Amino acid sequence: MNMKHMVKAAIAVASLFAMGATAADPAAMDPDNPTCPQAPNWSTNKTMELTPKMIDGTKVLLAEGAVDQGLPDRLRKILTDNPDISEIWLRSPGGDARSGNQAGRVIREADALIITRIPQGWTCFSACNFVFMGGRARIVEPGAHFMVHMFTMTNDRNAINYSIEMGTDSTVGLIGEVEQQSALLATEDNDFLIRMGVSRKLLSEIMYKTNAVKTEDGDKSTRRCLTNEEALRYNVANVGG
């Protein structure tokens, strides 16, 4: 199947499965995050659903929903059970950062040469970025969104709330743990990018320059969507869409 047919298939399935997409005005951008869509089409599934599907003669795995801790094991099993999967199409609001790294490694270690793709109109955010980067061939289609932010460990709200209930000493201890784990995660991210052949400048020039939270000076931007040119420059995508 040639690239033209693959792109047509991507557009067709994106339309078919686009739950929650901004169908009325897909070009509406977020005023706080002007490089990104106002209503990202990244699925509302609480855990990532993996659905093998034949599309125009090609076995595709639709990966839709939040990146959860069980994803790497589920992904490994479904790729083992379906060795003819040649593409993984992603839309996700992110989730567990380390599980995203692990799932990306599962894809890279698979026997088959698997293409990862973000179809037109779909969004791959946060931990999904690292799942996507596991593909040896990676495609971000025009109109698709590879959305990034600064990675931290502060999304563990249960631990934070519990420490606050326990008092000041516990909260101070948690802050130290968060700082330590965030530094470790940054090292893991850097190692992952090297292994996947993605430019480490993606971290220094994009991810770590994007606010983790809204700032006191009024900057509300906490997300950044790469342009197609940036995706190719940083080798996030290594095949034109």
pLDDT for res 212: 53
In a domain, 58, yes or no: yes
Q: Which two tokens stand for residue 138?
A: 């990676």
- Would you say the pTM of this structure is higher than 0.85? no
CA distance 210 to 241: 25
In a domain, 240, yes or no: no
- For 197: left if phi > 0, alpha if psi spans -120 to 50, otherwise beta; the answer is left
Q: Which two tokens stand for residue 61?
A: 């795995």
pLDDT for res 171: 43
Domain span including residue 228? 3-233
Q: What is the DSSP letter of 208?
A: G
pLDDT for res 50: 98
pLDDT for res 153: 39
pLDDT for res 55: 96
pLDDT for res 189: 77
Q: How many domains does the chain have?
A: 1
In a domain, 30, yes or no: yes
**Cα 104 from chain centre:** 10
CA distance 150 to 202: 11
CB atoms within 10 A of CB 122: 28
Alpha-helical runs (H) found in 82-233:
97-109, 127-132, 157-166, 168-196, 201, 228-233
In a domain, 51, yes or no: yes
CB atoms within 10 A of CB 93: 19
In a domain, 239, yes or no: no
Q: Which of 12, 19, 29, 23 is nearest to 49 (CA)?
A: 19
Q: Which of 126, 166, 114 is nearest to 175 (CA)?
A: 166
Mean pLDDT by 10 residues, the chain (241 residues): 43 40 59 93 96 97 97 98 97 94 96 94 96 97 91 42 46 48 66 90 80 56 90 94 69
CA distance 227 to 181: 30
pLDDT for res 90: 98
In a domain, 241, yes or no: no
In a domain, 29, yes or no: yes
In a domain, 200, yes or no: yes
Q: Which two tokens stand for residue 210?
A: 């994007």
Structure-token match 């968060």, residue found: 178
CATH at 17: 3.90.226.10
SS3 content of the chain, % helix, strand, coil (to 5): 40, 15, 40
CA distance 147 to 36: 7
pLDDT for res 215: 52
Q: Looking at the chain, which runs of residues are DSSP E strands? A: 49-55, 58-64, 87-91, 115-118, 123-125, 137-140, 145-148, 224-225
CA distance 205 to 208: 7
pLDDT for res 163: 41
With H, G, I as helix, E, B as strand and everything else as coil, classify residue 206: helix
